[in-house]
Structure 1
Amino acid sequence: MHEIPHSDSEMLRLLALGDEQAFQTLFERYWDAVYSTSLVLTKSAAIAEDIAQDVFTILWEKRATLPEVSRLEGYLFITARNLIYSRLRKLASGDAYRQYVLQFLHEGGAQQADHAAEFRELEQCVLTAIRQLPPQQQRAFTLSRFEGMRHEEIATTMGVSRITIKSYIVQAIASLRKALSNHPSGAMGALWAMIFFS
C-alpha cells in the first residue's frame, strides 16, 4: 500500500484516480471546518450535518475534475455556501414535499396498486445497488438507514471512528445516486425521502 501524501494537491490527484484513502484523509481533514461553517450560516445542527454530507458527496462525485482546483478549502466553502442558499430557498416548500410523500404512500384505489408495484420494483433496484457497495460502506449504510443506528453506535459496532463512518455513508450515497440516476420510476422521490433523508 502506498503512503498518502499530505498536500491537498497531491491528495486531489489521487482522489481523481478513485483513491478512497485519499478521500477519507480529506474528509477527516475538512469535515469539522465544513460542518462548523454550515452551522454558523444555518443555525441548525441537523441542516449543517446534511450540508456537510452533501459537500463531501459532491467532492466524491466530481473527483475527476478536482486536480484543477487550486485551493480545496475555498472550493469546499463555496460548495457549502451554494448548498445552503439552495436549501434555504427550498425550506418553505419542504413541508409540502413531505406531505406529497406521505400522500403517495397512503393514497387509495387502483393508483395505489400501480404505485405499490412500481415502488417494489424500485426497492429491488435499490437493494441490488446496496449489495454492490464495498463491504464496509454497505454495512455502515445498512446499519444507518435500515437499523436506525446513530453514527456513534455504528462506529462502536464496526470498530472504527465516527468520522470514518460518515465517510463510508457519504461514499455509499454517492454510489447509489449514480446507480439509480437513470431509473424512470416516478416513485424515486418517495424512496429518496425514506432512505436518504431519514
Structure 2
Amino acid sequence: MKYNTELLHRVSLGDEIAFRKLFDAFHPNVYTTVFRITNDEYIAEDVVQDTFLKVWMNRVDLDEIENFEGWLYTIARNITFNILKKGKNYKQYLAEEGESSLLRIYSNTDYDVQDKDFQNLLQKAIHRLPPKQQQTYKLLKEQYLKRKEVAQILNVSPETVKYNIDQAMKSIRAYCLAHMKDMPLVLLLHFYSKYF
C-alpha cells in the first residue's frame, strides 16, 4: 500500500488532492476486505465511502496515528458490523451517521442546499439511463431488492441485472462527477453512500 507520513500530514491539513490519493491507494483493499465479510458488493462500496468520510472527519488526528492502515481497517470493520446488525436499515444508518458528521463542518443550510443540488443532479443522471438500467437501478438502490429478486421481476438473468446496474452506476457517477467538479470530495463521498 503506497502512502507516507507526508501524505497523511497533507490530509490532516485539509488537502483534498492528498485525500483523493489516499482514497485511491486504499479503496481496493478496503472494498475487498468488506466484500469477503458481507459477500455484498453494494454494502462493500457503502462501507468504503463511509470509512473515508470518517477519515476526513478525523483528519486532524492523522499525524498522531502510528498505524494508519490498522486504524483504517478497524473503522471499516466496525462500520461493517454495525451495518450487519442494522440489516435492511443499513442505508438509513449510513446516511444518518454521515450527515451527523458533516454537520460538524457545514451548517445545516449549506448541507441542505448541497444535498438538494445533488438529489436533483442524481435524478437527472437516472433519467438519462436506458429504460432497463433505470428499472434495475430503482429496484436495487431505491427498493433495496436483491439481485435475484430483480432478475425475477424483470424476467432476466442475475448476470444481466449485474451488468445493467454496473453500467448504470458508471453512467450516473460519471454524470455527477462531471457536473459537480467544485463540490468537496468528502461531500461527494457522503452523497454516494447516501444515494448510491
TM-score range, shorter chain: 0.5 to 0.7
Matched, 1:153 2:171: yes
Matches within 5 A, 1:117-132: 128-129=110-111, 131=113
CA contact (8 A) 1:9 1:70 kept: no
Q: Which residue of the partner structure matches residue 34 of structure 1?
A: 30
Q: Which residue of the partner structure matches residue 107 of structure 1?
A: none
Instruction: Indicate the RMSD between aligned Cα atoms, in angstroms.
Output: 3.8
3-state SS of paired residue (2:124) = coil
CA spacing shift, 1:152–1:144, aligned 2, 3 Å: farther
Unmatched runs of 5 consecutive residues or more in structure 1: 1-5, 99-124, 177-194
Deviation at 1:12, TM superposition (A): 1.1
Match of 1:172 among 163, 182, 187: 187
Deviation at 1:40, TM superposition (A): 0.4
Matches within 5 A, 1:35-54: 35-54=31-50
Q: Which residue of the partner structure matches residue 78 of structure 1?
A: 74
Unmatched runs of 5 consecutive residues or more in structure 2: 94-106, 127-167
3-state SS of paired residue (1:171) = helix
Q: If you compute each CA radius of gyration, which structure gives the higher value, 1 or 2?
A: 1
CA contact (8 A) 2:125 2:171 kept: no
3-state SS of paired residue (1:147) = helix
Q: Which residue of the partner structure matches residue 9 of structure 1?
A: 5
How far does the alpha carbon of each residue in 1:80-108 deviate from its partner, in whole angstroms, 9 at most, with x for none?
1111111111116x39x89xxxxxxxxxx
For 1:174 and 1:69, how far apart are their aligned partners in 2?
A: 23
For 2:85 and 2:52, how far apart are their aligned partners in 1?
A: 21
Q: Which residue of the partner structure matches residue 105 of structure 1?
A: none
Deviation at 1:77, TM superposition (A): 0.9
CA contact (8 A) 1:13 1:67 kept: yes
CA spacing shift, 1:156–1:49, aligned 2, 3 Å: closer
* Counterpart code for 1:171: V
Q: Which residue of the partner structure matches residue 67 of structure 1?
A: 63
How far does the alpha carbon of each residue in 1:108-137 deviate from its partner, in whole angstroms, 9 at most, with x for none?
xxxxxxxxxxxxxxxxx867436569xxxx
TM-score of the two chains, using structure 2 as the length reference: 0.55
For 2:74 and 2:172, how far apart are their aligned partners in 1?
A: 30
Sequence identity (%)? 26
CA spacing shift, 1:132–1:49, aligned 2, 3 Å: closer
CA contact (8 A) 1:144 1:151 kept: no
